[in-house]
Structure formats: structure tokens, C-alpha cells
């Protein structure tokens, strides 16, 4: 059995365990008694999936030379959710519309939300600190987290408005740290709607996943 087939089997087990975790408790307490075991199984199988993936060497975060405002396009995706995930970025000089650089990287097993946050972080990191940047993405989750929700999360001790822990905290913290060293504004673009650079980012992410994992 190939690594990808073994990973698919492991992922199916993880999903089954997660479904049990999410299911309502029975009157006899059956689900309550097995919840902890299911959570452990889900985590172990997801870790096993990651070990089966042949990860590509991450693309070096080489900063581009800029002379004005820069447009950073980013997109992340995964095959299954969670599943093998990757990111793609395109950096464009706004004044000349010249593509300064593009890059892609494989993450491993992750959710689509994680892939989108990582993509934004990777894109911003390729532009020198202090640069004025417009971060362009089709992920409202990423853009709103960076521009709208962040202050509330931090003020509440990394809790959402409903009191739940903020998901993907470690990835958000990395994105915030990179963004804070640059002058970042955000712009949403509809995905798969013909925007050339957004489509290119999507293709870069998809290609890195396909070339890294036999799926």
C-alpha cells in the first residue's frame, strides 16, 4: 500500500473518531466514556498521516527589493479538510504591475484555515520590514482575523466573543508578528473569479500538494 493510501485510511479513522467526539451523549453515557479515547485516537491518526507524507523543503523566504507599495496575493488549500495542505503567494509591484516573486510550500496535514493563515504569513515575510503592503486573499477568515478580530481576541485573552478559545492561535501569532513589522492593509477578492494573481496562487498551492503527495 502506498503512503498516500495508508494516509487515506488513517484519515478515515481520524474522521470517524472526530464524529464520535462531536456526537451527542447517549442516556447511558456511552459517548461520554469514550470521548477521551476518541480524542487521543484522532490526534494519533492525524500525527500518523503527517509521518506518511513526504514533505518538500520549505521555500526560502527571500525578500524582494521594492520601491513602493506592494501587493501580496496569498492562497492556501488542502486535499480534504484536514488533509495534505499547501500555500502559494505572488508578490506584485503595484505601480508597474510587475510580478516580483512567487513561491509555494507544502505544510503537511492541516485544515484549510491553517493553510490560508500560513499563506498570508509566507507572503508578507517575502517583503522587507516597513514596506506598505496590500494583502489580497479570498479568505475572509484570514483577512478579518488580521484586521478586525485580532484586538478583541487579545483583549479577551485569546477568546472569541462567545468565550471559546481562538482556533489556530499559534498560526495567528506568527501572522501578527510578521504583519506588525510592515504597513499592512487588506483586500478581499472572490476566489475562482478570474483574478489572475489569485488564480496563480491557487494553482501554486494545488501543484505543490500534488507534487509532494501521491494523491
Residues at the binding site are 75, 116, 138, 202
- Binding-site positions for Mg(2+) read 75, 116, 138, 202
Give dist(CA 151, CA 169) in Å, integer: 13
Active-site choice (102, 123, 171, 202): 202
Q: Is 93 a catalytic residue?
A: no
Residue 108 β-bridge partners? 85
Q: Which of 28, 157, 164, 192 is catalytic?
A: 192
* 152 included as an active-site residue: no
E strands, 114-211, in order: 132-137, 183-188
Catalytic residue among 75, 83, 86, 122: 75
The C-alpha cell that represents 45 in the structure block: 491518526
Size of the chain, expressed as the number of residues it contains: 215
The residue annotated as part of the active site, out of 102, 116, 123, 145, is 116
- Where b means 16+ CB within 10 Å and e means fewer, 130-162 reads ebebbbbbbbeebbebbeebbeebeeeeeeeee
Which of 104, 11, 103, 95 is closest to 51 using CA atoms? 11
CA–CA gap between residue 3 and residue 27 (Å, rounded):
40
Q: Is 94 a catalytic residue?
A: no
Does 191 participate in catalysis according to the annotation? no
- Residue 97 catalytic? no
Active-site residue, from 88, 102, 138, 145: 138
Closest-CA residue to 166 (of 125, 119, 117): 117
- How far is C-alpha 80 from the chain's CA centre? 13
User: Catalytic: 102?
Assistant: no
User: Can you tell me the distance from the alpha carbon of 106 to that of 86, in angstroms, rounded to the nearest whole number?
Assistant: 4
H/E segment holding residue 98: strand 98-110
Residues labelled catalytic: 75-76, 116, 138, 192, 202
Amino acid at each position: 500500500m502506498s503512503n498516500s493510501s495508508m494516509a487515506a485510511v488513517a484519515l478515515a479513522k481520524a474522521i470517524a473518531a472526530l464524529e464520535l467526539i462531536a456526537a451527542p451523549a447517549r442516556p447511558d453515557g456511552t459517548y461520554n466514556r469514550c470521548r477521551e479515547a476518541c480524542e487521543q485516537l484522532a490526534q494519533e491518526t492525524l500525527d500518523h498521516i503527517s509521518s506518511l507524507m513526504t514533505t518538500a523543503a520549505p521555500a526560502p523566504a527571500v525578500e524582494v527589493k521594492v520601491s513602493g507599495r506592494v501587493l501580496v496575493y496569498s492562497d492556501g488549500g488542502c486535499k480534504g479538510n484536514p488533509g495534505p495542505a499547501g500555500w502559494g503567494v505572488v508578490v506584485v509591484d503595484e505601480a508597474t504591475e510587475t510580478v516580483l516573486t512567487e513561491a509555494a510550500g507544502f505544510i503537511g496535514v492541516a485544515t484549510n484555515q491553517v493553510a490560508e493563515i500560513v499563506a498570508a504569513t509566507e507572503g508578507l515575510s517575502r517583503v522587507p520590514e516597513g514596506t506598505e503592503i496590500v494583502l489580497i486573499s479570498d479568505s475572509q477568515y484570514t483577512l478579518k482575523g488580521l484586521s478586525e478580530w485580532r484586538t478583541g481576541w487579545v483583549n479577551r485573552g485569546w477568546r472569541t466573543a462567545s468565550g471559546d478559545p481562538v482556533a489556530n492561535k499559534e498560526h495567528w501569532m506568527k501572522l501578527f508578528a510578521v504583519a506588525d513589522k510592515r504597513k499592512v492593509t487588506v483586500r478581499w477578492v472572490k476566489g475562482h473569479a478570474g483574478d489572475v494573481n489569485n488564480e496563480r496562487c491557487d494553482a501554486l498551492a494545488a501543484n505543490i500538494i500534488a507534487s509532494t503527495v501521491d494523491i
